[in-house]
Structure formats: C-alpha cells, structure tokens
Structure 1
Amino acid sequence: MRNTGPKTRKARRIGEPLRDKDAKYMVKRAYPPGMHGQNRARLSEFAIHHREKQKAKWIYDLSERQFSRYVHDAARKRATTGDTLLQFLESRLDNVVYRLGLAASRAQGRQIVGHGFITVDSKKVNIPSFQVSVGSTIEINPAKRDSKYVERLQTAIKEYKPQEWLELDAKNLKGRVLSKPTPQMSGSTIQMDLIVEHYNR
C-alpha cells in the first residue's frame, strides 16, 4: 500500500526535499517532525539504510511491494544493481512524463497517465508503471488536446529544459527518450548502494 501522508513531513524526516516545494519549508524547520525532532540520537547503520530506502519509495511514490520488486528485478541483471534500479525507477512512464515537463510532479504524472492523457509511440498507455524504452516517443494524447489542462500546459512548458537523457518538443507537447538515465544525468541524490545493502541483509 502506498503511503499517501503529508510529503513535507516525510521530507523533514529524512532531511531532504522530496519535491521542489519542500525546500522552502525545510529552511524554517530543518529537523525531523515531532516534539523530539531536534534532539534525535545518531542513526544506526540499519536506520541509515532504511531511511535511504524510504526516501526512494517516497520520491517515486511507490508501495513497499512495488519497490522491493524493482530491487529484486534489478539484482537479476548483469549490470550494477544500483544503477539498474535507478533506471527502472526513472523509466516509469509517470516519472518520464514529469521529467519531460508534461506534469508538474510525479503524482500529477501518475494522474494524467491514468486518465489517458499520454501516448507512447502513438498508442495510449494508462499504466503509470509502464517502462519506457530508449527511442520511445511520449506525447499528449491528441484526443485530449482541447482540455483545459493541455491549454495551461502549453504556456507552462515553453521554457522547460529536460534532463540530458530526454529530448522535448515543447511546441508539439512531446518528447523522446535518448538514452538510459545515469545517476549523473538524473541528478539523483539517492544512494542506491545503501538500498541494495538493505535488501541483502
């Protein structure tokens, strides 16, 4: 089951913003929530690993079952498990929609995918967890072009610059996956090696 509680509270718990708008709140309260938030003891090794896992789950808005499946699938690949795990997470359709600027957040990306606003290679896909491949084209469904959401998006996306593993055609509201994302390309602050160690305990 996905944890849908207050995201800023979660961000304060791990000490890092989960969304862009969390940062301004954390300037005022740069400590964990709760009455003892400013006097927390040093974390154990297990707690550090667990916190990193929670951070990744919350950033990508996944349940424990979903996340553990990604970890186990990544471990079966020949490549480095941590890098493969990041690629699985970043290649989710809801995340790619967000990274392209077609949604303001991953949560909104999940919503518009579920509502049929997105096509992949000209076919409607309404599954947020769909894995997007290198070379795929992601765009706003032509059947939804007259919606108020798309009208607002056309103004908001004009100056948007996606990460280097993606290409955006802002005028036509579509993008393409140029390569598999690396930690450097995605700007990820998640320490995937700690997560892998957590599941290998």
Structure 2
Amino acid sequence: MARYRGPKAKIARRFREPIFGPSKALEKKNYPPGMHGNGRRRGKESEYAVQLKEKQKAKYTYGILEKQFRLMFEKAVRSTGITGEVLLQLAESRLDNVVYRMGIARTRRGARQLVSHRHITVNGQLVNIPSYQLQAGDVVAVREKSKSLTTIDDSLSSNEHVYDFITFNKASMSGTFVAVPERLQIPENIKEQLIVELYSK
C-alpha cells in the first residue's frame, strides 16, 4: 500500500476528527462520507470494526504505513511498560513527528518532506530518514543552508503550540527532544488499548 495522498477532508469526516488539521469540510458535513450522505442508515459497529478504525486513525494521524506500524507495535510489545502507551511514545519519538511538534512544518506530511529533502540535522548530522527514532537529549535543527526557506519561516511564525517534552528556539531554529513524552503529554485522541486488542487477536 502506498502512502495516502487522497482527499484529506474525506479521512477527517470518516473519523469525525481533524486528522490533518482544521477542516472546513468537517465543520460543514459532520457525518461520514458516502454517496447517501447523512441519510444512510448505519448499524452498530462490531468490536473488530471499532478496533480497526482506531488503528487506521493512528496510522493516518502519524502518516505511518501498515508494515511500519506493525513493526512498531512488535517493538512496543518487547519493551517494558504498557504496550499501547509505548506504541504512541515510539510514534511521538519519530523525527518527522518531532519536526512537526517543534513547528518547523505545519503538518507531519510537510515535516516528512523536509527530513527527506535533507533540511534537518540531528546532533549536527544530516538525517533524511523520517522514521528515525530520537533519544532523550537529541538536538534537532534546521540545516544552515535551509534556514531561509519560506515554508519554514511561515510555519514558525504561525506556530503557537508548546509541549513539555520539547524545547525550541525560533532564533536559532533548533530544539531539544527533552524526553520521551508520558501518555498525558500526548494530545492525540487515540484509544491505544483498542489497537493492542486488535493486534492481540
């Protein structure tokens, strides 16, 4: 399966949440997409359907493919701690996600592109792997030659989010991944236990 590049509003309406950021379509049509719209009769979802939907939501939110997500889950199972929480912590520790959290890019898709195009450094070294797992204390920065990019400037000027597990200096365009976030510090509305139950079948 290729990375999803279809209509973002359609996905947002499916989960009834702004998966890719604020969506006007979600505000106007607060019901799932489909040819019959809001008039379609929908029966009660099965337990499996609810669990699958939660996994899909997590994958779309973080922009992770099925194989990557499965490998990440297996890594979470082998780790100490609560599997569901560790899974989200691994997703939050990805380089593309941290670049997004720092405000260097407006979306995770944009962050992934900046990393892939060699605009981001980790501890002074160029890293072009979006899934690169950061460790506590790693310094993430915009490459010197890339600091004049308009897209980065626009993103930083509109970013107002602050996270306890990240520090960022707009002047130097660099920040530190202070620590792996606790579950309460992760703002995403994902019921990770449903994902664990799905994979445990």
The reply to whether TM is greater than 0.5 is: yes
**Normalized against structure 2, the TM-score is what?**
0.92
Aligned residue in 2 for 1:72: 74
Provide the C-alpha distance between the structure 2 equivalents of 1:180 and 1:79, rounded to a whole number of angstroms. 13
CA deviation after TM superposition for structure 1 residue 4, in Å: 2.2
Aligned residue in 1 for 2:96: 94
Change in 2 beyond 3 A, CA 1:18/1:150:
closer
**Normalized against structure 1, the TM-score is what?**
0.92
Partner-residue secondary structure (3-state), 1:54 = helix
In 1, are the aligned partners of 2:139 and 2:174 still within 8 Å (CA)? yes
Structure 1 residue ranges without an equivalent (≥5): none
Runs of 4+ in 1 over 3 A off after TM superposition: 146-157
Given residue 8 of structure 2, which amino acid in structure 1 is its aligned partner? K
Aligned residue in 1 for 2:200: 200
Structure 2 residue ranges without an equivalent (≥5): none
Aligned residue in 2 for 1:26: 26
Partner-residue secondary structure (3-state), 1:179 = coil
CA deviation after TM superposition for structure 1 residue 150, in Å: 4.2
In 1, are the aligned partners of 2:141 and 2:174 still within 8 Å (CA)? yes
Pairing 1:142-157 to 2, within 5 Å after superposition: 142-153=144-155, 155-157=157-159
Change in 2 beyond 3 A, CA 1:154/1:103:
closer
CA deviation after TM superposition for structure 1 residue 99, in Å: 0.2
Pairing 1:48-63 to 2, within 5 Å after superposition: 48-63=50-65
Change in 2 beyond 3 A, CA 1:189/1:147:
closer
Partner-residue secondary structure (3-state), 2:196 = helix
Aligned residue in 1 for 2:47: 45
Provide the C-alpha distance between the structure 2 equivalents of 1:90 and 1:56, rounded to a whole number of angstroms. 11
CA deviation after TM superposition for structure 1 residue 151, in Å: 4.5
Change in 2 beyond 3 A, CA 1:117/1:44:
same
CA deviation after TM superposition for structure 1 residue 36, in Å: 3.5
C-alpha RMSD of the superposition = 1.5
Change in 2 beyond 3 A, CA 1:50/1:37:
farther
In 2, are the aligned partners of 1:154 and 1:171 still within 8 Å (CA)? no
Partner-residue secondary structure (3-state), 1:171 = coil
Provide the C-alpha distance between the structure 1 equivalents of 2:49 and 2:57, rounded to a whole number of angstroms. 12
Aligned residue in 2 for 1:163: 163
In the alignment, does 2:186 pair up with 1:186? yes
1:120 corresponds to which of 119, 122, 130: 122
CA deviation after TM superposition for structure 1 residue 106, in Å: 0.1
Given residue 189 of structure 1, which amino acid in structure 2 is its aligned partner? N
Given residue 135 of structure 2, which amino acid in structure 1 is its aligned partner? S
Provide the C-alpha distance between the structure 2 equivalents of 1:145 and 1:188, rounded to a whole number of angstroms. 29
Aligned residues: 198
Paired-residue identity, %:
38
CA deviation after TM superposition for structure 1 residue 188, in Å: 1.8
Aligned residue in 2 for 1:107: 109
Partner-residue secondary structure (3-state), 2:171 = helix
Partner-residue secondary structure (3-state), 1:176 = strand
Provide the C-alpha distance between the structure 1 equivalents of 2:83 and 2:183, rounded to a whole number of angstroms. 13
In the alignment, does 2:16 pair up with 1:15? yes
